[in-house]
Chain A
């Protein structure tokens, strides 16, 4: 059986169910690298360029962890999926960075997906991957349909208020998890990229920490794509990058919602697009008078430091709320 490795970083939090179902339908075994650990991150930090952002270093670590366990690494070159925005340059060069930046890697499946250049680009990309694994056309088509269904189910679970890792657990491990919500609690929105917020190691489990403090958390991933699409931001120009565009829209959306008590922007140290995004969110929230905090994380983020800042922020919001009542 062919073993396909999918590193549990970057796109993992967005497209893993679709990819996993697709490969398994074709009879391949999918191996993912699991949760980020200290050792894994250290490996990534050692191999990746110092100036790269943490998520990329984490990705390198996950790729190294899979090195001897798989026959192929699946690192698609996702350029554009919505005809409008592209992904961050680091995503565009990701397969090349892994191929030329790391030694002794297994062959990389780096199919290019760009919906601007051809129709049905997504299906065609999957088709060529299927052909690479010597599958028959009909089988590929069936696997593709099933994969899309799995992705729809994944998104549906996300919209019920679960976070990506919980949703993956629900789908593949059939776990029963109760959504953590409650009335009369504070509601915080966490905006930022799925691969920084939901990686519990590098984000120092910010979601879990807030929930333990008795706060309901919603993230960008819980919003309906259409809702985001309709959300306007008064900018002369669309932001170029899909995740950044999505985050800015979400930040504007959350700022307009009456029941959100605070917004936290989680960003990685040295993130290029975020340098622009953060300023825009800051200017907007300043005029909307919503408590806002920007948290920068990197490979040195410590449990205590982040915890203290979160507690201070929560206390501040609580006091503000009391004084308004």
Chain B
């Protein structure tokens, strides 16, 4: 039987994984962007209280299985976040439904080196040499970085754009450039061109732009379909967002440069939560502290409904918010979250931050209308 490989959809990262898996000689079924249909499928077959990412993934798997996929590549984990068990649960449910799919689960390579080697071997039907596999992975990594950098650029430009919507349009265009790039040189060149194109968008330098940090659980941060494109919505409201997490690593460079003490996220969270509670609970706290130290106007926490680490973090964040005088807004996301409700809450939050900022700048309380 022909092996057809698929993987979870996470932002724009699928462009990279498609290239990497193709290079290794696999036929790839592209996961579709999570939609209403994905959610309905996921909700139907996943346990009720499973967190949002599990339901989306469940739906994605079922959609791709419909298209003929029979090998699912995903990540594992060692806890205490339950995401580490999701691959096992997905497998059970899919087998129970009568889909004999094969699951290839990548555990953290440092703890399970053998698992990593075995998985790479399974995904390498072309039998490439180790050297060329490493070359492929390097190239894929570079492409992932290019995609992340383009996304970061849109976060800066979108709140300042003169004509609403230009950034999103340009971003869609340049993504295709990066997508088409194949060799290392092409990727670097595409990235350069993409960034230039984004920064070329006409901007308004006078505009009052707020800076907001986004913290929370990795999947809902990275998959815009799951957080209802919160970054785009915020950008259109005149907010420059900085996300605390990207697939290619933390925004560590920034945090090191701009904080006086040169704190790491862990150091910052230590006084509040000395224990690693799994998921990204401690990072949420640490990043909030760092954003506050860097004089951000606010922080938004995104978490799937019933996500335990983020519930613990949220309980503690009320104290952080008070201690550092930084507004924190939390969204617990699930299949019931509506875009209109979210936008209303965001608008109110942005108004609040704008008033606060103007008050600090001018010492006067201004009406929101004139603040715009």
Binding site for B on A (CB under 8 A): 48-49, 51-52, 77, 79, 86-90, 92-93, 96-97, 100-101, 112, 235-237, 239-241, 269-276, 278-280, 283
Contacts and interface: CB of A to CB of B under 8 A. Distances in A.
B314 interface: yes
Nearest to B92: A283
B89 interface: yes
Contacts of A239: 85
B82 A272 contact: yes
Interface stretch (B64-72, B197-205, B270-278): B270-278
Nearest to B50: A275
The 4 closest A-B CB pairs, nearest first, are A240-B79, A93-B312, A100-B319, A275-B49
Interface in B75-124: 76, 78-82, 84-86, 88-89, 91-93, 96
Nearest to B103: A236
Contacts of B332: 51
A51 B317 CA distance: 14
Nearest to A236: B88
A49, A89, A96, A280: most-surrounded residue (chain B CB, <10 A): A89
Given A88-B80, A92-B80, A272 B275 contact: no
Contacts of A92: 80, 275-278, 312
Contacts of B82: 240, 272-273, 275-276
Q: DSSP majority for the A interface?
A: mixed
Contact of A274 (B49, B79, B277, B311): B49
A86 B49 CA distance: 21
14 contacts: A93-B277, A93-B309, A93-B315, A96-B316, A97-B315, A97-B316, A100-B272, A101-B319, A237-B85, A240-B79, A240-B84, A241-B79, A272-B49, A280-B92
Looking at chain B, what size class is its interface with the partner chain? 35 or more
B281 interface: yes
B353 interface: no
B47 interface: yes
Nearest to A237: B88
A100 B80 CA distance: 22
A100 B92 contact: no
Interface stretch (B27-35, B218-226, B300-308): B300-308
B85 A100 contact: no
B93 A279 contact: yes
A237 B85 CA distance: 7
A92 B305 CA distance: 19
A52 B307 contact: no
Interface in B41-71: 47-51, 54
Contacts of B47: 275-276, 278-279
A100 B323 CA distance: 11
Contacts of A112: 274-275
Interface string B266-296: 0000001111111101000000000000000
Contacts of A88: 80, 308
B314 A51 contact: yes
Nearest to B76: A237
Nearest to A287: B96
B318 interface: yes
B82, B91, B274, B314: most-surrounded residue (chain A CB, <10 A): B82
Nearest to B312: A93
B280 to A, nearest CB: 11
Given A51-B332, A101-B319, A241-B80, 14 more contacts: A51-B314, A77-B275, A93-B313, A96-B274, A100-B315, A100-B320, A239-B85, A240-B79, A270-B305, A270-B306, A272-B82, A272-B306, A275-B51, A278-B47
A89 B80 contact: yes
Contact of A49 (B79, B273, B311, B319): B311
A77 B275 CA distance: 9
Contacts of A101: 315-316, 318-319
B101 to A, nearest CB: 14
Contacts of B54: 275
A89 B79 CA distance: 9
Contacts of A270: 49, 305-306
A223 B22 CA distance: 52
B282 to A, nearest CB: 9
Contacts of A52: 311, 315
B219 to A, nearest CB: 15
A93 B51 CA distance: 19
A93 B281 contact: yes
Contacts of B275: 77, 79, 92-93, 96, 112
A235 B88 contact: yes
A240 B93 CA distance: 19
Contacts of A89: 80-81, 277-279, 281, 308-309, 312
Interface in B3-17: none
Contacts of A272: 49, 51, 82, 306-308
Contacts of A51: 305-306, 311, 314, 332
Contacts of B81: 89
Nearest to B317: A100
Contacts of A96: 272-275, 312, 315-316
Contacts of B307: 272
Nearest to B305: A51
A51 B78 CA distance: 24
Contacts of B278: 89, 92
A272 B308 CA distance: 6
Interface string B111-148: 00000000000000000000000000000000000000
Contact of B314 (A49, A278, A279): A49
A280 B88 CA distance: 10
A96 B269 CA distance: 11
A112, A273, A276: most-surrounded residue (chain B CB, <10 A): A276
A96 B278 CA distance: 15
A279 B9 CA distance: 24
Nearest to A94: B312
Contacts of A271: 49, 306
